[in-house]
Chains A and B, each alone.
Chain A
Amino acid sequence: MRPLNKKELVLTILFPLIVITIFFAPKLFTLSQGENIVLKVEPVDPRDMFRGDYVALSYEISRLDLDQIPSDSNYSTGDTIYATLSKKEKYWSIDSVSHTKPLSKSGEVRMKGTVTSAYDNMVIVEWGIESYFVPEGKGKIIESQINSGNVSAIVAVDSKGSSVLKELRINDGPLGF
């Protein structure tokens, strides 16, 4: 086979970088342009094979009781779900959910998620912000703080409903590592 010339070499080396950029661009867009909201966090501290220790997070908005929240129809596993959230005192919480993206109003954000389980009128939703990666061995510290209810999450949400977990805060301050 003919070896690559320098121009082809540059294009070949750039290829993986371009593919990676294309895939992560929406997340970067959400992170830089999205509105920041604060969510109340509930506890857990496992390890990902390639990315190390992380804190598995659950939120108040992860479990929805559709008897309490206005919704459009029944939900089943795998469905896409949109939630409208607004700020209540400190934390943001859900006002309503729907299968389709609702119109946006000022003071509200829309978050897009996937239903991972649904029984009766209880729905479990994954929003894509359930993991927070931490330096090796630091997960337990956060976990104990979460158990005492002092941890909140800053989440960036863009106009399309995509969300990225920006940072975790303990007692409204940075984690410190």
Chain B
Amino acid sequence: MGKMDDTWLQKEVLEWKEEGIIDDAQVQKILARLKLAERSSAELKPRSGSSKVTTVISILGAVLVGMGAILFVASNWGRIPDALKMILLAGTTVSTYYAGWKLKYERKDRPALGDALLLLASIFVGVTIFLTAQILNVNADTHWLVFLWFLSILPLGYAFNSKSILSLNIFTFILWTFFFVGSGDLYLSIFEIFMSYLLVGVNLYGLGQLHTRYEKYARFRTIYQGFGLFFILLSYFFFSTETLYFNILTNMEPTTWQVQAFSILFAVTALVFIISSLRIYKQHEEVKYEFFILLMAFLGWAGTNALRLFSDNLTTTITDEFYSYREVDPHIATALFVAFNLILLILAIASILIGYHRSTVPFINIGMFFFVLGVLNLYFTTLYGLLPRSIAFIIGGLVLIALSWYLEKKRQSLIMEIKGGETTE
């Protein structure tokens, strides 16, 4: 193979890794097989540092311009007639899309800027919606306007092959759920809210995992899984906090049919994603951690939901002078506390491990953030005495040290395997 071929193949392999088609270990094996492994780490980077800086700066620029446009519409400047505002905004949206497409795909000389312009145009779509609603005096704080934004740009992330538009798409969906829940139309308890976000997180994570089956969409995997992980860990963190688990069962009031329909629908899709993830795992063993996270997060949701069935048995009714309320049995409360904390810490560690394994920094950051948050919560919790807490921390620390020993051993064996492959060539 010539040097040109080597460089091309090397870049291809690294692009595959970045898109999630292959993992770190496979990259090393392929490069070792082709005797490319000795190349310096600087050469191995798929994109240069300056290219990443360009991407980040152009996206930040697009976000700032987009926010400025939203604020401009919000100021409702009366000197421009409404019709002219609409024409200007629609024209700007269309021409920004065109300019972005031209730079990214036709001229191909400014792909990062082109992608940022495509993102900006997608923000302009939202601005157009808010301007139209302002002109028509649609009632304030109407949540479906954000849903309309989500719907309007739904296929655009895929059409323009843009991770930033896809991120905006997921962001608008989550934002819509915030407004929907905040509107009070659903009458959700805080317990139901976090149960719903847990299910949304499981679905986003599973949807991301599904993307690994389709080569051309594999690069979107990390976006879905990043958002998914965040909501899974956020929900379990909520359940692990000691002030709430006392009330967790008593908060399980019957909900509206919309919430029940939502739960059933998303539980079914989560199951579909789990089955799909299992099939991927059977074909590619390296995705076992992803499958494990998905399964554990879902089982936690299903288990907590199942507690509703035994709500009466697990709680005691206490009658006060003025009113009566239900309280969870202290032993059950402790069991729930331990279970939710364990799930949170295991999932946070799994997220960090997958992040390292897949070279996906956001997964490491998300996992690390919630791990630290979980530990701080445990440290400052006032329910248990100092001695049991100290023992729990020591045991937890020892488990992590043992885990690091195991991982170190795995890494050594992988290096040996690569070296062995080279010598047998």
Contacts and interface: CB of A to CB of B under 8 A. Distances in A.
Nearest to B159: A12
Contacts of A46: 140
A28 interface: yes
Looking at chain B, what size class is its interface with the partner chain?
35 or more
Interface stretch (B146-154, B269-277, B380-388): B146-154
Contact of B160 (A12, A78, A132, A164): A12
B152 A52 contact: no
Chain A contact residues: over half helix, strand or loop, or mixed? mixed
A20 B129 contact: yes
Contact of A15 (B77, B128, B140, B155): B155
B200 to A, nearest CB: 22
Nearest to A27: B136
A16 B152 contact: yes
Given A1-B216, A12-B155, A27-B138, A133 B101 contact: no
Contact of B94 (A13, A51, A166): A13
A51 B98 contact: no
A4 B77 contact: no
Interface string B123-161: 001101111111111111100010010011101100111
Nearest to B125: A16
A19 B138 contact: no
B160 A15 contact: no
A16 B136 contact: no
Q: What bracket does the count of chain A residues touching chain B fall in?
A: 35 or more
Interface string B210-247: 00000011000000000000000000000000000000
A177 B78 contact: yes
A135 B155 contact: no
A129 B216 contact: no
B145 A50 contact: yes
B76 interface: yes
Interface string A40-83: 00000011111111101000000000000000000000100000
Most chain A Cβ neighbours within 10 Å, of B104, B128, B131, B138: B138
Contacts of A23: 148
Interface string A124-163: 0010111111111000000000000000000000000000
Contacts of A129: 137, 139
A4 B151 contact: no
B378 interface: no
Contacts of A78: 185
Contacts of B148: 19-20, 23
B137 A165 contact: yes
A91 B134 CA distance: 25
B291 interface: no
Contacts of A49: 74, 141
Interface of B: 70, 73-78, 90, 93-94, 97-98, 101, 104-105, 122, 125-126, 128-141, 145, 148, 151-153, 155-156, 159-161, 185, 216-217
Interface of A: 1, 3-4, 8-9, 12-13, 15-17, 19-20, 23-24, 27-28, 31, 46-54, 56, 78, 126, 128-136, 164-166, 177
Given A12-B160, A16-B122, 16 more contacts: A3-B101, A13-B97, A15-B152, A16-B93, A19-B151, A20-B129, A20-B148, A51-B131, A52-B73, A52-B75, A53-B74, A53-B76, A78-B185, A126-B139, A131-B138, A134-B76
